[in-house]
Amino acid sequence: MPKQAELRKIERDDRRASKWGISIPQTGKRPRRVFFKTARARDFEFNKLKRLTRDEGHGVLSDVTAADVALLKDIRSILPADIDPREACRFYVAHRCPDSTVSLNEAMRGFLKKQQLAHISQEHYNHIELHLNRLVDGAGRETPVSGVGQDMISDLLLGLPFQPTTVDGHQKNWGTFFNWCVKQQYCAMSPLAGMDRIDIPETEPEFMPVPDVKAFFKAALEIHPDYAPVLALSFFAGMRSSAIRRLERADIDFEQRGIRHRGAQHKTKRRFFVQDFEDNLWAWLEPWRKLTELPNWPSSTAIKWRENIYKKAKVVFPHNAGRHSFCTYHVALFGSADRTANLLTHRGSVSTLYDHYRGNATKAKAERYFKIVP
């Protein structure tokens, strides 16, 4: 029987450019020879093939073509020496993006459709859409999602002409969008992954002095009395405007003196039934007791009426004045972050809330605040 050819090193002095080679045995054929420019490169590939034959047998070498060897050489020249090409290939297959050509504009339309199916409020939807339009306009609507890098995102955030809190809101919504794109395999990784959050300096909460609140509600009763209960939910229950607009008449329970937040309508998708509001809230809500449906005004009308009221009252109306005033005076009245947080439907850490509002008002002022009635 003919002797089995062996894998061996060879040298050809007649080959000036690449004299160092490997003789690779082939089943039923003459050995195939592959040459390298340096002895070191030849020895590296020889040792690799030697390990392969030890694990798989000499027969496996018949399946290795010259093109395979050349491909492996190219891969080796690209990868650092400590990375196994097989592991690199597995990583690429796991993270490659089949739809890497999807544009930002197309991805945004798909993401916004998902938000509509989630039944978020129209106000919340408009907020997200506005932030994403600023992203795709800044990066280019036809730019592939996979073509957006962290440097581009940083430049876009730095270029936003807003306060840090608003810029932080953009960063959050953009991050949610790109995380969704990763799940859709539009990109391998979010360009916001690992990016530092916007540094937001802590500011003093803006709330209204008790005399201004009294003047504000007096003016409301004079020019827009039907709107006074809505304002009371903000000032004496600490509810956001968006949450107030989602309320239904059945959510206000006069018998148990509580307000129900339905899971489908709450931002956390959880259900809450909140009690222990102060008596003056129920005095302001009394006109709604006999109603079967709550009045519903467009946001533009509500904003106009509110402006009319504080102009007539001749008071300054800070941003989120109702919610901030409620938190300030409620913390001052009871000195309990947990009690205030419960009315706000907060279920996480309450230390930040307490630190933010503590010391801004006295208990005496808080007592006068919660005695404001029609």
Q: What is the pLDDT of residues 60-99, one digit of tens each?
A: 666 556 677 677 778 877 888 788 887 887 777 666 666 6
Give me the domain span that covers residue 57: 8-63
- Give the tokens for residue 170: 């953009």
- Give the tokens for residue 201: 């300096």
The packing angle between helices 66-78 and 39-56, to 10°, is 110
- Within a domain: residue 189? no
Pairing between β-strand 272-274 and β-strand 258-261 as defined by DSSP bridges: antiparallel
pTM reported for the whole predicted model: 0.59
Query: Is 289 a residue whose pLDDT tops 90?
Result: yes
| Residue linked to tokens 């027969």 | 59
Instruction: In whole angstroms, give the CA distance from residue 36 to residue 73.
Output: 10
Query: Is 2 a residue whose pLDDT tops 50?
Result: no
Side chain identity, residue 122: Q
Please check whether residues 44 and 116 belong to one and the same domain: no
Side chain identity, residue 13: D
37-41, 80-84, 261-265, 355-359: range with lowest mean pLDDT: 261-265
Query: Is 4 a residue whose pLDDT tops 60?
Result: no
195-209, 247-261, 293-307: range with lowest mean pLDDT: 195-209
Please check whether residues 169 and 220 belong to one and the same domain: no
Q: What is the pLDDT of residue 243?
A: 85
Neighbouring CB atoms inside 10 A of 299's CB total 13
Please check whether residues 256 and 347 belong to one and the same domain: yes
For residue range 250-288, list pLDDT tens digits in order: 999 999 999 998 866 655 567 888 998 999 999 999 999
Side chain identity, residue 285: L
129-138, 191-200, 249-258: range with lowest mean pLDDT: 191-200
- Within a domain: residue 159? yes
Please check whether residues 215 and 333 belong to one and the same domain: yes
The distance of Cα 218 from the centroid of its chain, to the nearest Å, equals: 42
Q: What is the pLDDT of residue 373?
A: 94
| Residue linked to tokens 């196994």 | 84
Please check whether residues 49 and 137 belong to one and the same domain: no
Determine the 3-state secondary structure of 307 from DSSP.
Answer: helix
